[in-house]
């Protein structure tokens, strides 16, 4: 199971809490997903009051607050400080957004905010790109986890850059890595785990599905399959065919 900042979680699936048809369906989807972490936006919680807060606590799993919607270092740091008081955790999923169309991370502001928060005692989970230099700077800033995107948030496009994600895994073999954003199908989640990633974070793919509970269950199974496949040391892709039936011992017809 993945370990983040010394805490082992029960599942590689990290599931968001926004956009569900109802609180009851959200709770049922979490049970079906067997998620190890629930991610919560402070803005989402603030609009729902104590009932939502109680529902999150009743899930019985660690909470990862996030700074969703923040566009500056100051805004992200202030939101993180508020989240720490509300949820009583040093964990924070750090989002600093530059472009509203793609919701691409502002990597320069992200590194700065990560440094400020790390120095303030936060345990930062940065939503970033798969750029090796950016990820290296985030680690230098105090992060012990990296969360590169698979594709733009909510797009459901899957892994846009498998090569970059594979390179990141190879370059930082001992750093916990989480594919965050863009997952739309169970096959996307399985692919992330097949690349050797430690966890997958998703929200929209489950919350906005026609049947969120069924999709949550499918994601759980896919992540488990991908994890098992990676551990099984899968065969390498090749350009030419290779017979699965040995030629030795076959009858010679003349």
Where do the H-state alpha helices sit in 38-148? 42-46, 49-58, 73-87, 107-119, 132-140
Residue tagged 């968001």 (tokens) = 16
Catalytic residue among 57, 93, 208, 227: 93
Supply 175's token pair. 């750093």
Task: Indicate the helix (H) or strand (E) that contains 165.
Answer: helix 162-171
Active site residue 227: no
Gap between the Cα atoms of 177 and 198, Å rounded: 5
What's the sign of the alpha-carbon dihedral 217, 92, 46, 155?
negative
Structure tokens at 211: 């049947």
Residues facing residue 93 across a β-bridge: 66, 125
Q: Report which of 144, 124, 125, 146 is spatially closest to residue 135, judged by C-alpha positions.
A: 146
Residue 223 corresponds to which tokens in the numbers above? 């992540």
Burial 123-161 (b: 16+ CB within 10 A, else e): bbbbbbbbeeebbebbbebbbbbbbbbbbbbbbbebbee
Instruction: Indicate the SS3 state at residue 125.
Output: strand
Query: Of 79, 78, 81, 83, which Cα lies nearest the Cα of 56?
Result: 83
Q: Which residues carry out catalysis?
A: 93
């Amino acid at each position: 199971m993945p370990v983040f900042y010394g805490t082992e979680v029960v599942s590689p699936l990290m599931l968001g809490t926004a956009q569900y048809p109802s609180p009851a369906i959200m709770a049922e989807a979490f049970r079906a997903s067997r998620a190890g972490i629930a991610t919560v936006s402070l803005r989402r919680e603030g609009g729902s009051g104590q009932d939502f807060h109680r529902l999150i606590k009743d899930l019985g799993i660690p909470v990862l607050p996030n700074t969703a919607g923040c566009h500056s270092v100051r805004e992200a740091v202030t939101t993180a400080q508020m989240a720490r008081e509300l949820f009583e955790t040093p964990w924070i999923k750090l989002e600093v957004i530059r472009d509203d169309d793609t919701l691409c991370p502002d990597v320069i502001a992200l590194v700065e905010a990560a440094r400020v928060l790390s120095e303030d005692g936060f345990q930062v989970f940065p939503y970033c790109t798969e750029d090796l230099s950016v990820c290296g700077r985030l680690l230098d800033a105090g992060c012990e986890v990296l969360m590169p995107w698979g594709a733009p948030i909510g797009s459901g496009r899957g892994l846009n850059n498998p090569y970059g994600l594979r390179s990141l895994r190879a370059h930082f073999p001992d750093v916990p890595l989480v594919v965050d954003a863009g997952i739309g199908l169970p096959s996307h989640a399985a692919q992330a785990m097949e690349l050797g990633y430690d966890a997958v974070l998703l929200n929209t793919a489950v919350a906005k599905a026609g049947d969120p509970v069924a999709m949550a269950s499918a994601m759980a199974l896919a992540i488990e399959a991908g994890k098992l496949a990676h551990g099984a040391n899968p065969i390498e892709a090749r350009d030419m065919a290779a017979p699965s039936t040995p030629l030795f011992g076959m009858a010679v017809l003349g």
